[in-house]
Chains A and B, each alone.
Chain A
Amino acid sequence: MPTYWLTCLHVAQLIALAPHEFGGVIVHARSGPVRERWMQALEQLVRHHGLVTPLRKIPSGITDENLLGGLDIEATIISGKPVFRPGLLSHCDHNLVILPMAERLEAGTVARIAAALDHGSIQVERDGHGERIACAMGVIALDESIEEDEVVNPKLMERCAFYLDLDSLAWRDLPDTKLDAEFLDLDPVGIKERVEQITLRDEQYAALIGIAAQLGIESLRAVQFTVRTARYLAAIDFDWQQDEPSQEHLERAVTLVLLPRATQIPDMADETQAEDEPTPEQNEEANSEETQSPNHETDVLEDQVLEAAQAAIPRELLDRLTQLALVRQKNHSVGKAGASQLSNQRGRPMGSKPGMPSGHQRLSLIDTLRAAVPWQRIRQLQFKSSKNQSQPKILIRKDDLRVKRYRQRNQTLTTFVVDASGSAAINRLAEAKGAVELLLAECYVRRDQVALISFRGSEAELLLSPTRSLVRAKRSLASLPGGGGTPLAKAIDTAFALAKGSLKKGMTPTLVFLTDGRANIARDGTPGRTQAQADAEQSAKLASQVKVRSLWIDTSPQAREEGQQIAQLIGSFYLPLPHARAQELSQAVLGVLHT
């Protein structure tokens, strides 16, 4: 039986016991029997602790109206008094709430949830109503991501104590369901009383901080969660009559909270071996150091706890988690969430804003009525006194008009930066052209925009400004002449200037460089390999500040260091393709662009 299932149950137990104290748990699992069973166990525990079930769900596209609350139009009209309908969050006090498809939550929704997790309450200022609503909740964030670039918002990860990977468990390995019920045998009131009595020793604090450092975890919230977990574990332990957690409690807390956040795993194998043979010297050492410094005690505790904690999680899972944590660290730009913008025309509905409907802004009828309702009585009184016409049922003024807003997934712009210099022309220009043509077709299918920059002689030229027209792209590509020097610095500058501009317009740019990377024209147009290379490197360094995905295809017959170095400076994906044909080239590019 996998011990990891026990870990999962322990997490359910803790989170049900004190939802707000632990913030929540990120459950990486696709829908399936294992997740179902874990959720069942959780609901059972939740009921056992007297919380309301079934647990509420916050869908990914929820409006502020539903999340925070708003004026209840129907009730307001009927009663003639403003009736404020509280949002979903106000029903979540002292309970857990489920976030299905947490990786798709909007940044704004996450920020509102995060505020509730931080303060245990939310400030609502909406529709003539201002109130602080208690909302001490915990979240069960169901992370159903498959691709690596879909990640749960780091802000949410940060505020959830636990991370579970249920996908690593197979249904057939799970033990009898009877086991799950054993976790119910708890006395929540007694535990909460005891937990306040339990404190950590200074060495224990220090050891946990040391472990976090060894695992490459910067955030102090994680350590705080570990401390809290250790205290709760000690309080749950019936035999444990001390007022500080035991080493085992610390180990388990590290397993539950810190290890899943690790960005590096210290290799303990060597040290384990050394400690397996208790030599006389070591004993002496231990004795002598007891008198020396308390720091040593911390170190020993740190190593022991970390080692034991690591043993509790299967190595493969640990490695995968570390990989994931690294990916998360790298793309801290919140996956694709950052790459969307508000639009007035299309995309996912995002509520409304005050404004006049015009050519491309559509009226939101419901919201307009909603805005108009509270003022009807005043307006009707005014209307009666001013005019003698028959009175309309509802009086709507310009101030009430609301227009719809949509959130739109961004368009991508793929820019090809093609080296048309003499050296490249001899080798590969034809193939590069072929590959670009194939890629263009692919971009066209995906309704992406493409642009083409070529560089030769002393200039880099924008041959084709961002377009969706395949024909135009092909034409400008076909007439692309070859020959001349390689002004690489200028090419990089031009490419990133274009990328930056398109970022500002709300597009997601990608750059594809096709070059042999042998710069021989400096930025000022003078020939000379050394200066040209230096200029190119400087341009690359500058370019690395623009957060744009890029791919560097080295087309030289023998991959050379210069190109690779520049690619590295920019931070682009380097791909040497000395002998590929057009078809293979385009396959490679697509492979990189789509992962």
Chain B
Amino acid sequence: MTRNYPFSAIVGQDDMKLAILAAALEPSIGGVLVMGDRGTGKSTAVRGLAALLPSMTVVKDCAYGCDPKAMASLCAICSLGAKTKVKTELRPVPVVDLPLGATEDRVLGALDIEKALTLGEKAFEPGLLAKANRGFLYIDEVNLLDDHLVDLLIDVAASGQNVVEREGLSVRHPARFVLVGSGNPEEGELRPQLLDRFGLAVEVKTPTDMTSRIEIIKRRDAFERNPDAFMKIWDKEDAKIRETMASARKKLASVKVDDKLLRDASTLCAHLGTDGLRGELTLLRASRAVAALDGKNKVTRDHLRRIAVPALQHRLRRNPLDESSSATRVQRALDELFT
């Protein structure tokens, strides 16, 4: 298997990196969508994320990676044994790829074909959604995903539960995952329903200034020539981010949001006319994640400003009399309201 380029070695693209880390820190934000030009390191960043995640405690041998502490979201097997003391184990947080051309049975899970054929036995074989439980589900080229798979995803991402009915077998298991998508907007738009499932959306562009372009090429070349040596150098930087993430996770619950900031968030959303409460909620959660990543106890306007564009830009209604991009509109509103 090819090695992943380290997350910390990505030059620039600070918005994208911040959004990915925030979404990884706070699953309730609802994931992140990275859209942008070809060759901007979209999928590199997402794949690099796997190395930054701490391990998680799971019920031993559970196919769905159930959390022994969260009784409410246990799978059928784990909830049977929940009364007794469960054995646990540590597992890396899963980052599961949903490749194009995947068939439904692999995504949702289906009867185990092997057992069905050889033993005539009905056994459920969990799919990618089960594997991604409590972790990340990554879809590269998300706008090219087959329609019927998109339907499935929208449903499961909303309910956090996967229900499979087949051959008289009825399986229901938790499938809470952070949805991460990337794609090139020129190749087709995303269905609005799916777009809505993503908490944050960032646009990435190829950097144009010489210094960072040179740095990118040099690092890429070094990685290619000798990946081992390159990884050794950047492992330390990755470790730093990992530590930041770990301490931010501890901090997150205690980060405070005062009324003034709440008002700021509502004013901003009202000004932009975003639909519903989702925008406001995401904005607050994301701002808190940013504050936690900064190691702060309180969310400030600055945190809000830094994450406002990714949190809101894909929730704006198109304004027929304003031709500027939605990112610019959010930015403009920020400048107008909070100077």
Contacts and interface: CB of A to CB of B under 8 A. Distances in A.
Contacts of B339: none
A227 B221 contact: yes
Interface string A328-340: 0000111000100
B320 interface: yes
Interface string A111-144: 1100100111111111111101000000000000
Chain A: number of interface residues, binned into ranges = 35 or more
A219 B38 contact: yes
Nearest to A108: B144
A229 B186 CA distance: 29
Nearest to A157: B38
A326 B187 CA distance: 18
B39 A378 contact: no
Contacts of A338: 187-188
Contacts of B100: 108, 111-112, 115
A104 B208 CA distance: 32
A221 interface: yes
B166 A399 contact: yes
B101 A112 contact: yes
Contact of B213 (A121, A209, A380): A209
Nearest to B98: A125
B113 interface: yes
B215 to A, nearest CB: 9
Contact of A208 (B140, B147, B217, B220): B217
Contacts of A115: 99-100, 140-141
Interface centre among B39, B98, B114 (most CB of A within 10 A): B39
Contacts of A240: none
Interface string B189-227: 000000000000000001010100110111011001110
Nearest to B186: A332
A319 interface: no
Specify the main secondary structure of chain A where it touches its partner: helix
Contacts of B45: none
Interface string A362-406: 000000000000110111111000000000000001010000000
Contacts of B112: 128
Interface string B166-183: 111000000000000000
Contacts of B155: none
A125 B106 contact: yes
B72 interface: no
Nearest to B47: A119
A306 to B, nearest CB: 16
A125 B102 contact: yes
Interface stretch (A199-207, A415-423, A462-470): A199-207
A80 B117 contact: yes
A538 B321 contact: yes
B263 interface: no
A327 to B, nearest CB: 15
Contacts of B116: 374-375, 377-378
The 9 closest A-B pairs by CB, nearest first: A125-B106, A128-B113, A125-B102, A221-B39, A377-B120, A123-B99, A64-B101, A374-B113, A82-B113
Interface of A: 64, 67-68, 71, 76, 80-82, 107-108, 111-112, 115, 118-130, 132, 154-155, 158, 196, 199-200, 202, 205-206, 208-210, 213, 218-221, 223-224, 227-228, 332-334, 338, 342, 353-354, 374-375, 377-382, 397, 399, 538, 541-542, 544-545
